[in-house]
Structure 1
Amino acid sequence: LSSDKTPPPPQVILVQVNPGESFTIRREDGQFQCIPGPAQVPMMSPNGSVPPIYVPPGYVSQIIEENGVRRVLVLPQQPEFHPGAPSPLHHAPPHAHLPAFIPHPAMMPPLRTCTRAWPAAFTLSNPVSTESHTQHGRPFVHRDDRTSKTYERLQKKLKDRQGGGGGGPVKDSPPPSPQKSCASPSADVHNGLSGKAADTEQAQSSQAVAGVERQMELDEEAKALLALLSTISKPEVSDIQARAAVVSWSAPTKPEKENGSVEEEQQSVPEAFSYEVSISFSGKDGKYTSVYCGEELSAHLEDLRPATDYHVRVQAICNCLHGSLSEAASFTTLTCEPDAPNPPRKASGTKNTLVLQWKPPCDNGSKIQNYVLQWDEGKGTGTFEQCYYGPQKQYRVIKLSPASRYSFRLAAKNDMGASEFSEVVDLFTSCSVPQPPFPPELEKAGVTWLCVKWQRPQSSPKEDDIYYILEMEEEGSGYGFQPSYDGEELSCTVRNLHRSTKYKFRVAAYNSEGKSNPSPVLELITKPDSPGFPSRPSIRGRVLPNSFKMAWEPPKDNGGAEVTKYVVELSEGLSGVSWELVYSGPATEHVCEGLKPGCSYQSRVYCMSEGGQSPLSETLQVQTPAVPPGPCQPPRLVGKPKAREVQLRWGPPQVDGGSPVSCYSVEVSGPASEESREVYQGSELDCSVSGLLPGKTYSFRLKAANKAGFGPFSERCEITTGPGAPEQCKAPLTTCKSPSCVVVCWETPASNGAPVTEFRLEWGAAEGTMQLCYSGPALSHEMKGLLPATSYFCRVQAVNVAGVGPFSEAVLCQTPCSVPAAITNIYQQQQHPPFYSPSTCLGLSWDPPCHHGSPITSYLIDLGERQPVVIGPVSKHVIQNLQPDTSYRIRIQALNSLGAGPFSHMVKMKTKPLPPQPPRLECTAFSHQTLRLNLQFHLQMGDRSGRFVSLYKGPCHTHKVQRLNESTSYTFRIQAFNEAGEGPFSTVYTFSTPRSPPAPVKAPKVERVDDSSCEVTWEALPPMKGDPIIYTLQCMMGNSDYKQVSRRFLFAPS
């Protein structure tokens, strides 16, 4: 395969076809075209790449790059070669514009035991860059030592020749593949680089000529090895036997060269050869079969045919190169004894004789002269004696016993000896003339056939071959008995008979000894044929809604037997899919009853006789008239009944009378009256009935109508309406038991189907502000804690399971007058009147209580141990003449004309101590306009040991003590001092600090427990002395507010 150096794209690829070869391509129309060589086939390559070459099964393709020339080798897959990667050419898909290469059968080598190379190599002349060597490198091929040495020797010679030539190989180009020499063709096969093809290539391009010359140099070594393999001599055959022989040959020898070097000749001779031996038994030019492949110089041929001419030839093989076939040597195998013959067969026989025949076996080159026939004399012991010896191919054995078994075997004999005996065969002698059989019996009868069977004569042994003759006589024919069957079967079916006809049968048995007398006669009658179809049925009289009468005529042909019965079938509708048997009997008319009104029917008739069933008659179509529909099912309640309304639903009647239902009518009768009234008429299957009373039972019934009128009413359906809310209660009754207690009573109203379970009482000071104050089943309630002389309103309503009834009318109730109420708020006056001394006086004020219908006349102030103080109807008072710095418990009560009201709650008040003595002032500096007065103080605080520590000295009257502990008591004292000295300490004062709030808790941790719960944990705060720590857990869902979910206490140790 070569390429013209034309500028891309596209490039023209020239496929060179050598003489004696052919190139097959697929044309655009899909047909194949075979181009014989020599020729050059131009092919278009769009990108200048190697066109995809079709590779037959069992072969692989390989691209070899040599000096810028690509060679495509098609090689058989060999067991000792394992390519490391598949060739890209082998897997390339066929190009759209380049048909795949299909090798001609003449180019494919025969498959032998030792594989041979593809007979041609293709060369693509196309410059290749250095980078392409790494991309299309040769796959790794495993080689044995002998192949490696041969490759190294050839490679050395190639380098020497290229070193002395003009243009050496490209630097970094890969060495030639060892498979190139393996794939080189023989001298008789052209590879596209010699002869006329090379001249044509040289005429086209000088660069192509140079590539061809280099390629020829590379193939010289392979050609020399191929010429050496072709020098193998004619093989010699020795030790020839009948089925084996020994063939031997000499190794190929290299012819002497006139100017050749001895060292070079020794290096070029391979160390060992392989040989392939093939033989042919169909002539010198016949088909040869490979029988040996190895490195030995002789082979033992086995499994040959005796007395057969054979031709044998040898072919030398080295490094995948096959030399020319040697000249064929002929030899003939020796003769031997015949093959074992087939067992003899029984040609004929009687009760005392057997005639045996056999066929001659293969004589294996020597004519068969005699046959040896042996038998066991009928003893069955396995011991055989000779009963015949001679050249004949049959023998008659006489003086045998009737109905006996004899075993025979046969051998053939020629000049070389006797063959092996055949397989043993058992043969039987015949019996005497059979006895007359029993009369035949009927196995099965038909209209035109009779199946007759008979039995084997009991006196005949099983080994006897008995044949039977069945004779038949037709009644009234006048021909007598005629044979109908002759054979060895025990039954026979006689056909082509007449229907309903009597026939006589008899049977006779015979064997080789003679024929028996006929058996007694058996009379049989064929079955009659099926009758013809009756006439089309017709209507008799008027068609009624549920029945009609039909009649028909008998069939014209009864089939040879009287009609026994007629069968009437009826089908509802006009489809005729399902038919029902409605009558079976001898009459020719029938009344079809139980029909549906307004429905279409089809009827047909067939008859039956002894001969079978007749075909169906023509169909009669009948339409029954419609009637009013049947009763409906009672209407049923849908959902729960309401208090004053129910929802009804019903289904269509089971019988529509033959016409679609067009209307329904629903009637209802009340609980107090049996008169019915229509509440619905229409085509729907449900309705709503309103205007009913709650908790009452009503009766409903339904009827349907079609074009024939209304049908009967359905059964009544009683439905109880749902309970309603109770009726309005009557106005309740009120009775005042005291100024603060009123008893309210009421009556039970109408319950409307459900008992009253609860009463609700509302109470309030005004009609619009009444609130629920009682809920329960009682009929009275006592209102306590009321205000005297106050107007109240009340109303009541009843409740049952159906709902809440309306409220009763509101009732006004007036409580009587009472003593004043208790004073709720007592204050200490902040603004003091003149001459008020806080150390001996307490100013009081209070909110006047409710007088409960009677004006307050006075107040009584209780001071505990002191005498109560009574004052007029005022709301403030100053108590005098009290002790300084003293606590008093004070309570006040109001009085009116009905009596004294309750005391107020106890109020604790304390008078202030007497004011301290004025301190002494000193004037430390003075001027004509100013005086400087000095007054200083000393503040001390006690510690744990009881000592006092100085906190402040100075003129200020206040001081803030810091860094104290929470919930702790501290003691203090103070003194005044000046220049004259320090004054006395005051009494010790004790003050306590309050508790501080706990520190903030760290964020809790949440762990999921299941789908509806989780566990929240947090770190505990340090314990506080004597103060329990309370944790409050809040949770928020979505954007809602936080809600408290837990509150726990933790007490700290005291």
Structure 2
Amino acid sequence: MNACFRAAAVDRAGTLTSFTSPLCVVPPFTPPGAGSLSVLGTDTLSGSWLSAPGATYYVLRVSTNPDNPPVLVAGSSNTVLTSGNISSLLPNTTYYGFVTACNGFGCSIYTALGSTATLANIPVALSTAALDSTSATLAWGANGNPLDTSYRLEQATGIAGPFALAASTIGVSAAATGLSPGVNACFRVAAVDRAGTLTSFTSPLCVVPPFTPPGAGSLSVLGTDTLSGSWLSAPGATYYVLRVSTNPDNPPVLVAGSSTTVLTTGNISSLLPNTTYYGFVNGCNGAGCSSDTGLGLAVSFAAAPIALSTTGVTAVSVSFGFGANGNPSGTLFEIERATDGVSFALTLVTASPAATIGGLAPGGSYSFRVRAVNHAGLASGYSNTVLVVTPSTAPSVPVNLRGTAGSGTLTYDWNPVGTDTAGTPWPPFTVVTYEVSDANDPSGPFAVVALTTVPFHGPVASAGAERYVRVRAEAQTLFSSVTPVIDNVGAGRYVYPSPAGTVVVTPQGS
């Protein structure tokens, strides 16, 4: 406000002299005294200061810029007091305070009140942005907080805590690691204001990390009763369960064997030989297990046949039996033969643990061995080797061929043949077959009328005419010479080579 002044002297009688010419001045505005800025909430600040002489009111202003006078005014308030509030500000934002003293003629320069920051807002809408077996990504709404606001994410195993720091971050998302599949994990988040003060936390959000099955793997064969599996690790798994089944269904229901391991490999034993198995593995911890990962299939090795032995030997063939040694029905066996005991060649493939090999030579020496082949085409080891020598000596001739008459019938018999022509007894279980032939003439031609393994033929009906009969023995495909010919008259007379009806030799043994 303008102020003009003049002066006059006063004499001793109290009389004024004339006044001087007027002198006018404008008193300066005194700014408010020192003060400060303080926070009242997320959008409100309060300023206080010392009074300014002559001021009739004050203007409080805040800015996000420290320049004085303020140019970027974010909010202002007029008051006749020495304190005032400004609302509708941004949360968690640093503001600089300024105050000026005014009256009807103008305002003073600004007094700076320092700076402070509004409180941060509580985050909103805490949610799971991503979740796997061992980690979770949490996201939330800033609720008006500026982009550079810091947040504290805390984690607990239950909704009631205790909570511990999981992550500190600038932004509205953060990852929490070190989770365990199947184990409850609860999270809450708070904003951190510029002074480092936490807001209240959001309500807890609880999740259960899923189990991730083990990664791809395979099943391999270690032996006739053992398989091995390998796979990639499953996050959060503390152990694995390897199982095999004869059925490809996943999950396996017909479990043939299992193994528990903390490694990413495992073996299963006590399985069947030459059997197709399907492998499965899951990852587990104390809270449960994942779904199964299929490891494919493998066929256990076939077991080597055992106890190869002959069950019959002829001059041109040999029959064998052997133990399957646990191999299942349908297993193929390869029988090999060598004539020198060294150079074996495949002779027969059979699915039976018994077989007959023909096409041999009488008096030949042969070595035989057998092995099994699994369903994948892999052969087992060999059985024991059996040496076979085929016989080369024919059976001895049956003796005492004779006929015995009955009522309209005739029965022929002879002595059993138990040796070869050298007098060597047959091996045990050798079958001797007798071939009975007859003819209309003692010199033939003869036709076979019976094959028998017993030393007789008949009774047969009378032929009604004179017939001529002879017998020979067969053993191991070798035949003896024929017996002398007898006819069917009376008790049987030796007639050959003499004329019919003439007895030339007394029947042997009579």
So what's the TM-score if we normalise by structure 2? Answer: 0.36
More strand by share: 2
So what's the TM-score if we normalise by structure 1? Answer: 0.20
**Higher relative CO (CA 8 A, sep ≥ 6), structure 1 or 2?**
2
Structure number, greater radius of gyration: 1
